C-alpha cells in the first residue's frame, strides 16, 4: 500500500496501517533484497511477485488441509486483480 501498488480498500486495508512517512521510511533503505526493492519500485514486478507468493501460500495451505485459509487467499487474489 505504501508504494501505491495495492489499493487502500478491503481486504487489503485491514492488513497494514495506511500511514507512511516517505522521508523516514524509504523502502530502498529498509529492504536489502534486490527483488523486493524492484517490486516496490515497479508495479509489474510487484504484481508478479504477489501472484507467485500467494499461489505458493495457497498450495501450502491446501497441502496442510487448511482449505478456509486457501480460499481466503483466492479472494485476495481476486480482489487484487480488480
pLDDT per residue as tens digits for the range 12-52: 565 555 454 555 455 545 556 787 778 778 888 888 888 88
Checking if the pLDDT of 58 tops 90, the result is: yes
Q: DSSP per residue over 25-36, as a string?
A: --HHHH---HHH
Residue with the bigger pLDDT between 68 and 19: it is 68
Measure CA 24 to chain center: 21
Residue with the bigger pLDDT between 82 and 20: it is 82
pTM above threshold 0.75 = no
Residue 79 CB partners (closer than 8 Å, separation 6+): 10, 11, 12
Cβ count near 58 (within 10 Å): 19
**What are the domain boundaries of the chain?**
24-80
Q: What pLDDT shows up at residue 44?
A: 86
Amino acid at each position: 500500500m505504501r508504494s501505491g501498488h495495492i489499493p487502500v480498500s478491503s481486504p487489503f486495508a485491514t492488513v497494514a496501517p495506511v500511514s507512511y512517512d516517505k522521508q523516514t521510511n524509504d523502502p530502498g533503505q529498509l529492504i536489502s533484497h534486490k527483488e523486493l526493492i524492484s517490486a516496490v519500485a515497479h508495479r509489474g514486478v510487484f504484481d508478479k511477485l504477489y501472484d507467485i507468493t500467494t499461489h505458493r501460500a495457497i498450495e501450502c495451505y491446501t497441502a496442510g488441509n487448511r482449505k478456509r485459509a486457501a480460499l481466503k487467499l483466492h479472494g485476495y487474489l481476486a480482489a487484487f486483480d480488480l
